[in-house]
Chain A
Amino acid sequence: MQIALQQLVNGLTVGAFYALIALGYTMVYGIIRLINFAHGDIYAVGAFLGLSVYGLLAFFRVGDPVLATLVALVVSMGCTGLLGVLLYRVAYRPLLRARLSILISAIGGSLTLEYGLFLVYSPSFLVYPHLFGRAGLTAGDIQISWLQILIFASSIVLMAALYLMVHRTKIGMAMRALAINQDAARLMGVDVSRVIALTFFLGSVLAAFAGVLTGLYYSQISFLMGFLIGLKAFTAAVLGGIGNIPGAVLGGFLLGILESLAAGYFSSRWKDVVAFAILIVILVVRPRGLLGERVVERM
């Protein structure tokens, strides 16, 4: 029971990362039916940009960890968001009608970002600043660090904000409309390309947020860090039902929890095997994911 509860806490933390990244996959798929293979690397760029900001702030002797983290998050999210828009403009928009070529373009985008980081930063691991330590709450043998609480709470706030934006604002209404019928949205005066660009922006912003926080949580980053977590977040999106926003959140947390429990009861080497075996079973039973596929209409 102790193990289960402790692993649940860890699972919710990792799950928040998966969910934040899965949202980017699911939103883009929902509106243009594209699997953006470069999305995991967008997340990696977010982590590296955050590290640069921390470096700059240290140079200017900004010591306050909360202030430094806020600045790192805001700068990294803004720049990474713009990078996501650039990726859409350069790699995807010219190929929107070519179903297969656009996937190749996505793989090209992914490699470009990965080896861009390799060249600009470093081929080896880089160490993130150790700002928050392990302090936190303790209940019996279960420990919850302040950083874990911060990660979980802020992710929930961002996801709720995204949900409200999609459902309560005019631009969110346009996103849902063009997910249903792009030409019909055009006939209503919606500048479809701009709304798609905004979707890339939002997805990249969430990924950058996850990137900076994973840096703080795991203390190190590398240029390939987006590859595996990208695959897992994509899996989480499919698990929840790709194109479905609440589904991506559910899938992300579920995957994080399954993985952590598997690590706790078996070993961390087996966690992916066990977690993915369970996922395959779920997808055999519900091939369209837990909350249903392709329904950004139900974003």
Chain B
Amino acid sequence: MSRAVLEVRDLRVSYAHPLGVVRAVDGVSFSLAPNERFGLAGESGSGKSTMALAILRMIHPPGHIDGGRVFLDGVELSALDREAMRRLRLAGIALVPQGSMNSLNPVMRIGQQIADALADHGEALSRPVLDARIADLLPTVGLRPDVASMYPHELSGGMKQRACIAIAICLRPRVIIADEPTSALDVVVQRQVMATLARVQRDLGAAVILVGHDMGLMAQFVDRLGIMYAGRLVEVAPIGAIVTAPRHPYTRALVASLPSLEHRGRLQGIPGLAPLLRDLPRGCAFHPRCPIAGERCRQETPALRSLGTDGTVACHAAEATP
């Protein structure tokens, strides 16, 4: 395996809240191989979007990055100054936003929004060159070139999401973080947009982090899946291994809640309540909902450890289970 494109080490983010500190991302580490499609799944509030924003160093008060290091092609991002970090967004790491119904500036034409992105990354192109570049770009995400002269409200949901993808890939980034890129779309459009994303990813040779709830979609799209629970990665493994032999009891519950991959299910049917991040239990955050929790789970937070070759898991009981 070649060197990682993106490496995240012990990333920690918290939000200050009047009732206590919310540890939204609590010591997450993982790395991304070139061309890899990495999935990140977890319940709502488990810290997925926060992590995406933290990688881009876009956490604003009341949020705070408490620690951790992020490397892109070996360059440490936390060491960059503000301007260098700004230039690295989109050019190095691009985000496809979560709420893309509303992610485009409503008063600006699509073409202009792409032009803004190019201009602020030092691509001051003449009008005809710019127009040609945009006209080339739009078809790669399945949009007609004349969409450039339209406003967001003139586009359908799927088209808006494609426009966001177009902006995200316009500088050929090394890494694309797609935060639930299709959660606001209906199923048919979802598939089309995912197909588009898959295609541009292949063409660019970029690595992708796909954030989402939908295990069915994950299974179709990603190579490797990380499961987040309460701000921590509890299991990381190749998608095949996760589906056939989940190690963490939480992952097992997730997989079990899927009748079959053809009947796509969402991460909802787990018994018990999602944890309150500002008031986590001692020990493993999952233990109150865990069917196999023992005394050790109530005392000691499990660390991610390797189990053979195909993945890592953070569970004291992992070895004892098949």
Q: Do A and B come from one complex?
A: no
Residues of B within 8 A of A (CB): none
Residues of A within 8 A of B (CB): none
